[in-house]
Structure 1
């Protein structure tokens, strides 16, 4: 079996005042409060979500 690659993201800025679609993307990544972290499978869909809200998150 192949090892699944993962990526960990951390919310570093508040999504208050951002577009509704960006807030939905934050929730879709499993992030709630500032400094919360989520470990996700590294897929093109997840990478696209991270790129969309790159100004709010940090990849660890």
Structure 2
């Protein structure tokens, strides 16, 4: 089984505070590589990353 390597990237920015959010949502944001407000992470465009973004859609902005 071979996996095609994609060069697609998604830019994710943390636009809202994590204060008052669920612990699992905080862990998801952390897993995306975002630490503080307005921090940006450039990630591979995979189904797993898209699912994480979908889970915390109200905290982040994604481009690409």
The two structures have a TM-score, normalised by structure 1, of 0.93
Q: Which residue of 2 aligns with 1:21?
A: 24
Say how many residue pairs are matched: 60
Structure 1 segments (4+ residues) deviating >2 Å:
none
After TM superposition, the score normalised by the length of structure 2 is 0.88
Name the CA distance, whole Å, in 1 between partners of 2:21 and 2:35: 15
User: How large is the RMSD of aligned CA atoms in angstroms?
Assistant: 1.4
**SS of the residue aligned with 2:43?**
strand
Structure 2: gaps (5+ residues): none
Compute the displacement of 1:16 (Å): 1.0
Equivalent position to 1:4, from 3, 7, 10: 7
Q: Is 1:37 the counterpart of 2:40 in the alignment?
A: yes
CA distance in 2, matches of 1:21, 1:9: 18
